[in-house]
Structure 1
């Protein structure tokens, strides 16, 4: 038998989690774009695929640990703490790549160099996967 009350409770919990994750994702994207020294929105509007790949990788790299946190946390506050940590780690990864591995990253992204965009996206995804795997408590 279909339990309408249980479904309603579960659906409400789903909506709260989904909306919270969506809000955290939008906030992360805004903060990430503020931290990067180039204007992703402008570059993407101009057709810069490298910028789109790099930003897309960062967003997916952030959402991966959010998905893990959603399945391992028991409260919205705990989820928010993991979401904040995931964002900090993702931004730290960008900063590390920018200042150590690809010191000319800004120039390369602005010149639409696909190799730089793919590399940055790959690092973001790898960091996100590791971040998600570490969120098991």
Structure 2
């Protein structure tokens, strides 16, 4: 007896969605290592809006690229490869902002300077959009 197509589709959805959630958790872990400030402490303990905006933008940017990877991939390995590339791109975006455009971004985020959080968040989303658009064959 052959498996109905809908069951195969649901299985594929569950697999890709589950891997996406693992990637999001991995991104949260890696991104907080790359940034010299502790986003979770700033957000949870100090209610730092700038850190929330910056970190939120990074998560959204990564999720946009990850969504594109899921829709354009031809296999799970392909999806995982593009997911790693998306993660690297988001970390590089932070590095470019920190070392080139706004060398004091860390201090400004720690001081809850909203404008710094907006720039970081917007840049992270922009990188995610560009990354997603470039994931094509």
Q: Per the shorter chain, which TM-score range?
A: over 0.9
1:100: which partner in 2? 100
SS class of match (2:136): coil
2:5: which partner in 1? 6
CA distance in 1, matches of 2:31, 2:104: 18
**Cα deviation, residue 6, structure 1:** 1.4
CA distance in 1, matches of 2:48, 2:19: 30
Quote the RMSD (CA, aligned, Å): 0.9
Unpaired segments of 5 or more residues in structure 1? Answer: none
> Per-residue displacement from partner, 1:36-90 (whole Å, max 9, x unpaired)?
0001000001110000110010011011111111111111110010000111111
**Cα deviation, residue 119, structure 1:** 0.3
2:112: which partner in 1? 112
2:136: which partner in 1? 136
**Cα deviation, residue 136, structure 1:** 1.2
Unpaired segments of 5 or more residues in structure 2? Answer: none
1:71: which partner in 2? 71
TM-score, normalising length: structure 1: 0.95
**Cα deviation, residue 29, structure 1:** 1.1
2:54: which partner in 1? 54
